[in-house]
Amino acid sequence: MVGIFKSVQNQIRNAVKIGKMNPNFEKHILQPKNKILFSVPVIMNNKVEMFEGYRIQHNNWLGPYKGGLRFHPDVNMDEVSALATWMTMKCALQDIPYGGGKGGLTIKPQDYTEKELELISRAFSKQLCEFIGEDKDIPAPDVGTTSQIMDWMTDEYNNNNKLKREQGVFTGKSIDCGGSEGREEATGRGVAMTVKEWAKQENIDLKGKTFTVQGFGNVGRFAALTLESFGMKMIAVGDSGGYVHHEEGIDINDILNHISTEGSIKGFWGPTCGYAKCESINTDEFYALKADVIIPAALESQITSERAEKIDCQLIVEGANGPTTHEADVILKEKGIRVIPDILANSGGVLVSYYEWLQNKQSMKWEKQDVLDKLDSKMGDCYNKIDELSKKYNCTMREASFVYALQALEKIYNKTK
Ligand code: NAD
């Protein structure tokens, strides 16, 4: 299996070929503009603990670099470079005036107290200061980071930036600290909106249709809650604590209550959980279940070729970034399974981050319903324009999404570079 960044570069090369784009443009867009590596020392309990921090600024032709910060022990240059490149594509695909960036810290956040996490987040933000800014590079939450972490980081940035207060330097903040209504659910809800649009175009009634979700954090749970509101039934779900399957359907609030007391899905099986037929399964069994829609919403490279061979569904919607390996993608195409790719399916998050940034810059607060209405209609429009493009080029929705994004960037390259 090739590294994840190489795999994104191959996605770009393939789309450049389909869209017959300028080979000089291709050379620019294949590489990040800046790769910044930090050592982040933090004093805790009178001892220095050293963390490794990353910020990759992939491209800023459309606007400031934009992309999340991940707190996870496996964060590395290859992964962050891939995620930054996908951000450039995602923003161009949604016609948002942003480029792409991504960052992270090698840390297992669960191992630290809240006070320690604040110290670590502030130390990282202080080091990021000279490289970011509301018109330069705007980080946001990702795996392992929260609105509370964005609030600390925004405060620390402004403590160190005496020239002017910039509330829009981070997005995904809490509502009290300048966050937007609707941002918390934006990514998951956007995922569900693409399912709704797919069903509308294919004349499918979603009532009673089944779905499974891998990853029940921010993206997975809001996608599931929105699909449930369409009358769909969640028959399996998994997180880092394990997976459960119940063919008659799992009530989402029941499992969320379990997670809030137990920390993960672990233990939500057997007679004590109230679902007598709830069984514990492993990841391979999860991906082999028959369902109408599968939503990977955890980490990269979860749908491997072995799992793709066994997948039995109509639609896969990529809530996570890069959940499907290139080899698996080829198999899914041969099997005729439609994949709504990550850069389209999970773009609701950056869309509402953009709305948060606009509100911060204009000192305004938008009503929640206005934000959600804008999100829903942009997700539907984006699905349709890519569906049409995929028919025009006779290619997959992933290929069409890359062609659309790259053509927007190529226009700037051809006129200005
Ligand atoms: P999160 O930290 O809130 O949740 C991650 C979930 O995945 C948790 O339930 C965790 O237990 C689970 N998980 C971790 N390792 C797992 C494993 N090996 N097997 C099964 N489950 C596992 O993160 P999130 O914000 O929901 O992000 C999930 C994915 O969506 C990531 O790929 C992220 O880059 C992407 N994404 C997030 C946003 C956003 O706004 N949060 C936007 C776009 C894309």
- In this structure, the residue with its CA closest to atom 29 of ligand 1 is 320
Q: For residue 167, is pLDDT > 80?
A: yes
Contacts of 361 (CB under 8 A, 6+ apart): 134, 168
Domain holding 106: CATH number?
3.40.50.10860
Average pLDDT over residues 192-209: 98
Residue 14 within any structural domain of the chain:
no
Contacts of 245 (CB under 8 A, 6+ apart): 235, 236, 278, 279, 281, 285, 286, 289
Q: How confident is the model at residue 3 (pLDDT cuts 50, 70, 90)?
A: confident
- In this structure, the residue with its CA closest to atom 37 of ligand 1 is 142
Closest CA to 291 of 332, 207, 228, 235: 235
- The pLDDT assigned to 417 comes to 76
Q: What is the pLDDT of residues 300-348, one digit of tens each?
A: 999 999 999 999 999 999 999 999 999 999 999 999 999 999 999 999 9
Residue 8 within any structural domain of the chain:
no
Q: For residue 165, is pLDDT > 60?
A: yes
Q: End of a domain among 144, 178, 212?
A: 178
91 and 191 assigned to the same domain: no
141 and 185 assigned to the same domain: no
Q: What is the pLDDT of residues 232-277, one digit of tens each?
A: 999 999 999 999 999 999 999 999 999 999 999 998 887 666 677 7
Cβ(355)–Cβ(180) below 8 Å: yes
194 and 151 assigned to the same domain: no
**Distance, CA 394 to ligand 1 centroid (Å)?**
32
Q: End of a domain among 178, 207, 222?
A: 178
- The pLDDT assigned to 269 comes to 80
Tokens 């934009």 belong to: 66
169 and 193 assigned to the same domain: no
209 and 334 assigned to the same domain: yes
Residue 110 within any structural domain of the chain:
yes
Ligand 1 atom index nearest CA of 319? 30
203 and 86 assigned to the same domain: no
295 and 251 assigned to the same domain: yes
Residue 27 within any structural domain of the chain:
no
| Residues designated catalytic | 102
Q: How far apart are CA 43 and CA 111, in angstroms?
A: 16
- In this structure, the residue with its CA closest to atom 17 of ligand 1 is 240
**Distance, CA 299 to ligand 1 centroid (Å)?**
6
Top mutation candidate among 75, 218, 265 for ligand 1, by most atoms within 8 Å of CB: 218
Ligand 1: residues within 6 Å at CB?
Answer: 141-144, 187, 214-220, 238-240, 297-299, 319-321, 346, 349
**Distance, CA 166 to ligand 1 centroid (Å)?**
28
- In this structure, the residue with its CA closest to atom 16 of ligand 1 is 240
- In this structure, the residue with its CA closest to atom 14 of ligand 1 is 240
- The pLDDT assigned to 162 comes to 74
Is the pLDDT higher at 274 or at 34?
Answer: 34
Contacts of 197 (CB under 8 A, 6+ apart): 379, 380, 383, 384
Ligand 1 atom index nearest CA of 183? 40
Residue 28 within any structural domain of the chain:
no
- In this structure, the residue with its CA closest to atom 19 of ligand 1 is 240
Q: For residue 404, is pLDDT > 80?
A: yes
Q: What is the pLDDT of residues 170-193, one digit of tens each?
A: 999 999 999 999 999 999 999 999
Top mutation candidate among 102, 143, 343 for ligand 1, by most atoms within 8 Å of CB: 143
Residue 231 within any structural domain of the chain:
yes
Q: End of a domain among 158, 178, 198?
A: 178
**Distance, CA 93 to ligand 1 centroid (Å)?**
22
Top mutation candidate among 80, 226, 299, 307 for ligand 1, by most atoms within 8 Å of CB: 299
**Distance, CA 412 to ligand 1 centroid (Å)?**
33
271 and 397 assigned to the same domain: yes
Ligand 1 atom index nearest CA of 172? 40
352 and 286 assigned to the same domain: yes
- The pLDDT assigned to 163 comes to 77
293 and 408 assigned to the same domain: yes
**Distance, CA 143 to ligand 1 centroid (Å)?**
5
- In this structure, the residue with its CA closest to atom 33 of ligand 1 is 320
110 and 209 assigned to the same domain: no
**Distance, CA 185 to ligand 1 centroid (Å)?**
13
Residue 22 within any structural domain of the chain:
no
- The pLDDT assigned to 292 comes to 98
- The pLDDT assigned to 208 comes to 97
Domain count, the chain: 2
141 and 189 assigned to the same domain: no
Average pLDDT over residues 181-207: 97
User: Which is it for strands 293-296 and 279-281: parallel, antiparallel or unpaired?
Assistant: unpaired
Domain holding 328: CATH number?
3.40.50.720
- The pLDDT assigned to 2 comes to 66
Residue 7 within any structural domain of the chain:
no
Q: How confident is the model at residue 1 (pLDDT cuts 50, 70, 90)?
A: low
How confident is the prediction for the chain on average, in pLDDT? 95
Question: Is 0.75 surpassed by the pTM of this model?
Answer: yes
- In this structure, the residue with its CA closest to atom 35 of ligand 1 is 320
Provide the domain limits for residue 293: 180-417
Q: For residue 122, is pLDDT > 90?
A: yes
- The pLDDT assigned to 401 comes to 98
Q: For residue 366, is pLDDT > 90?
A: yes
Top mutation candidate among 56, 86, 89, 219 for ligand 1, by most atoms within 8 Å of CB: 219
Q: What percent of the chain has pLDDT over 90?
A: 94
Ligand 1 atom index nearest CA of 353? 40
Q: For residue 80, is pLDDT > 70?
A: yes
**Distance, CA 54 to ligand 1 centroid (Å)?**
19
Ligand 1 atom index nearest CA of 321? 32
Q: For residue 388, is pLDDT > 80?
A: yes
